[in-house]
Every structure is written in structure tokens, then in C-alpha cells.
Amino acid sequence: MSKIDYDKTQEYLETLIPPREEEIQRMEEYAKEKGFPIIGPACGYYCYQLARMIGAKSIFELGSGYGYSTAWFAKAVKENGGGVVHHTVWDDDLSKRAKGHLSALGSDDVVKFHIAEAVETLRKTSGPFDIIFNDIDKDAYPTSLPHIKEKLRSGGLLIIDNMIWHGQILDPNDREKTTEAIREFTKMITTDPDWIVSLTPMRDGMIVAFKK
């Protein structure tokens, strides 16, 4: 078997995604133009698929940017019969941009917007949740896990972004603080018997963890 090219594989995965709404494509174009990190179409569609598969109606995002991942989760929640997706950011401008995009998609009616620190907002928000999506500062991944575990229902899913971390996680000589935090988080969740965990090498790596 020939060696698999990672970049070509990612490009191939994007060809398998059904046509996307024009507003979602505009969000992707903005990210490319501004260099803004979003999860991208393949991971976005994967999140949508997972939410549909478990019939998710309550989703909490730890770190939401200008609403790209929110748009995919909101699409699933609406198709599941309604519910709520919690969008959390520190930045007022990001929140306003997200509201504009989600309004254009007709999904703002299932989104609750928070301008605050994400983990603290999760702690103060009534759960449990069907899905928690984690995309905060990577240094804070390890300390976020106990709060996530408390708020996620049994049978719920935790989805964590950037778990390959641009390939840095694969370099044993990389001892950068953020890389080490991702390693610590990965060890914590994969050795905890309360979780069933897989790492999908899609884009920058996504862990999907099922809470028993």
C-alpha cells in the first residue's frame, strides 16, 4: 500500500460533503480571507451528522467564534425537532457577526448567545447537555474536563477540536505548553473508564467521546 498523503485526504473528504447553504459558504470564504480558524466543512458536516444521529436537542459550545460550528449544530437541532445551541465567545463583535450569519440561515431561533468566559458559563448553565463541543484555548483543555463531565448527560457526546494540533502532538521533542496541555487532556480522557473515545484524523484532529 502506498503512503497516504494527509493533505490530499483532507481535500478528498471535502468532496464528499453535500452542497452547503450559501451563507455557510460565505462564512468559509471569510475564514479563508481573514485567516480565521474554523473547523471547516468536513468537520462541520461531521458534527452535524453526530448531532442528528443521537437526536441532540441541547448543545453547548465552549468557544464558538463567529458561529461556523454553531451553524452546523443549529441545523441538526432544528431537524431534530428544536432545542437550543449555546454559542459562547468573549468578543462582542464575534457574537454580532454570528447573530447575523445565523439569522440569515434561519437558525437564530434555536441559538442562545453568551458573551462570557466559556467554562464558567457552562458551569452556570442548567444541563445536562446532549453534546458539548470544546474549542477553547488549548491550555485550558485539561481543567475544563471535570466541568464538561458534570454537565454532559450519560449517553451524550463530547467533541474536541485540534487534537492533532498541526502535527505538533506527533513530535516527541515538542514540549510547548499548549502541546503538552493537549497531551494531558488526551491522556485524561482516554484513561478514564467513564468514556469511550476515538480520535478522528480529520483536518486538525477531532476526538469524539461517548459518556457512559
Q: Domains of the chain, with CATH numbers?
A: 6-211 (3.40.50.150)
- Express each pLDDT in 25-41 by its tens digit: 999 999 999 999 999 99
Q: CA–CA distance from 69 to each of 53, 73, 160 (Å)?
A: 17, 6, 12
86 by Cβ neighbours in 10 Å (0-12 / 13-18 / 19+) ranks as buried
- pLDDT class of 2 with cuts at 50, 70, 90: confident
Query: For residues 59 and 85, is the Cβ–Cβ distance under 8 A?
Result: yes
Cis amide linkage into residue 128, ω under 30° from 0: yes
- Express each pLDDT in 96-138 by its tens digit: 999 999 999 999 999 999 999 999 999 999 999 999 999 999 9
Q: Does the pLDDT at position 1 exceed 80?
A: no
